[in-house]
């Protein structure tokens, strides 16, 4: 675990509130080498959304001629970078409200009531949220910097920071209305819970099999994982339901990265690109296992959203059924490659066909992008299709 940074008693570092871009500029300066952060964003920021699409999809022939990446390798890393930018955006929102507030992760000032509700799942939740956020920042910065260092265009979603987000106590006021992701209207798929506990099914071999949901009511209707306003913190039972939702959403997000990186690695050509993918991927798996453990501590309860009227029920998962038992957080052995072979403990799924497009669809179905523009979806879909088209090339 990382040491907790110096902070005040209420979790605030006491530093002045600064716009996210200013904070990030200072944050990554010590890590620069021969490229600058301005190169990450390029001139397309001023040119608008239309130019962004062109800038991201640069000519592969130009990239190869410069001694850089193949078209496929650049596409793999660019999609991964875009995914990490989206992850960073959502984790930053969680950290502003329930994480450690310090100079390492730019953010807000914390929401004591929400922080306490999240801490019911584990007393170290604030530190874990902070460290997960810090990791995602490092991933997006590294991937974009590497692309630029090889003469390839980075991923850039800056023009799409248009969503409102929370206005509750603790959020960074400079980022209200400037979010990429929506954490207030989520439909959370919790089938990962049983997928990693089942010993007789693997979606790679039986993609039509439906794994049961750990929290069925989270998989229908829309639920908020953060307090939308301070009004959401006044009912302790509903506030705990919001915190429980966040606890399961953490695992839902990180299981996606757990599968994405090994799937993408199978399509990489350059050994160094392969090294990047198989080195970042396991950190996502570490996140996933952490959140699998914490979600199991969510207290059983039923609550009704006073704004939408939607009900949610969190069951007691401290049961003997292997498919639901809360402390079975290490992947159970399951079929892999062929059912004639012995079962083995593996990441699942890792099938490469359509993995990036599947990730985009999964996140879209979750409601994470409710309120985004058609241009946003078009760009994300194009990035995914380019990544899925990548093929390992022989020298």
What is the tens place of the pLDDT at every residue in 310-366? 999 999 999 999 999 999 999 999 999 999 999 999 999 999 999 999 999 999 999
DSSP line for 127-179 = HHHHHHHHHHHHHHHHHHHHHHHTT-PPP--GGG--B----STTS-GGGTT-B
Percentage with pLDDT > 90 across the chain: 81
- What confidence tens digit (pLDDT) does each residue in 377-391 have? 999 999 999 999 999
pTM over 0.75: yes
**What per-residue confidence (pLDDT) applies to 68?**
86
Which pLDDT does position 61 carry in this prediction?
Answer: 42
Q: State the alpha helices, DSSP H only, in the chain.
A: 20-28, 37-41, 44-47, 49-56, 60-65, 71-98, 112-119, 125-149, 192-195, 236-265, 271-295, 355-365, 374-388
pLDDT of 1 above 90: no
pLDDT score for 373? 98
Q: Does 23 score more than 80 pLDDT?
A: no
Local confidence band at 107 (pLDDT 50, 70, 90 cut-offs)? confident
What pLDDT, on the 0 to 100 scale, is given for residue 395? 61
The per-residue pLDDT of the chain, averaged, comes to: 87
pLDDT tens for residues 197-210? 999 999 999 999 99
Please say if the pLDDT value at position 31 is more than 50.
no
Q: What is the pLDDT of residues 252-276, one digit of tens each?
A: 999 999 999 999 999 999 999 999 9
Model confidence at 233, pLDDT cuts 50, 70, 90, reads very high
């Amino acid at each position: 675990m990382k040491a907790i940074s110096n902070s005040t008693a209420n979790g605030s570092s006491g530093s002045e509130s600064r716009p996210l871009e200013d904070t990030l500029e200072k944050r990554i300066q010590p890590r620069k080498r021969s490229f600058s952060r301005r190169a990450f964003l390029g001139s397309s920021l001023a040119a608008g959304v239309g130019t962004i699409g062109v800038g991201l999809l640069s000519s592969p022939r130009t990239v190869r001629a410069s001694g850089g990446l193949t078209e496929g390798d650049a596409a793999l890393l660019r999609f991964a970078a875009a995914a990490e930018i989206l992850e960073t955006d959502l984790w930053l929102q969680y950290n502003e409200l329930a994480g450690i507030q310090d100079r390492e992760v730019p953010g807000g000032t914390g929401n004591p009531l929400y922080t306490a509700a999240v801490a019911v799942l584990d007393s170290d939740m604030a530190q874990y949220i902070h460290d997960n956020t810090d990791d995602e920042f490092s991933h997006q910065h590294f991937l974009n910097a590497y692309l630029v260092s090889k003469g390839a265009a980075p991923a850039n979603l800056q023009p799409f920071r248009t969503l409102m987000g929370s206005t509750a106590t603790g959020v960074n006021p400079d980022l209200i209305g400037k979010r990429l992701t929506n954490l207030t209207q989520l439909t959370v798929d919790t089938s990962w819970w049983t997928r990693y506990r089942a010993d007789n099914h693997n979606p790679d071999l039986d993609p039509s099999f439906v794994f049961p949901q750990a929290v069925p009511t989270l998989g229908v209707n829309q639920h908020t994982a953060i307090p939308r306003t301070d009004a959401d913190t006044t009912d302790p039972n509903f506030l705990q339901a919001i915190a429980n939702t966040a606890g399961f959403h953490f695992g839902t997000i990180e299981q996606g990265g757990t599968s994405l990186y090994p799937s993408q690695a199978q399509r990489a050509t350059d050994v160094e690109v392969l090294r990047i993918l198989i080195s970042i991927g396991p950190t996502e798996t570490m996140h996933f296992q952490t959140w699998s453990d914490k979600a199991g501590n969510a207290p059983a309860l039923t609550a009704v959203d006073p704004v939408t009227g939607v009900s949610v029920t969190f069951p007691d998962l401290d049961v003997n059924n292997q498919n639901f038992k809360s402390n079975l957080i290490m992947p159970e052995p399951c079929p892999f490659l062929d059912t004639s072979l012995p079962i083995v403990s593996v990441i699942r799924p890792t099938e490469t066909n359509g993995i990036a497009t599947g990730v985009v669809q999964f996140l879209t179905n979750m409601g994470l992008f409710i309120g985004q523009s058609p241009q946003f979806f078009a760009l994300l879909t194009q990035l995914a299709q380019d990544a899925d088209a990548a093929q390992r090339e022989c020298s």
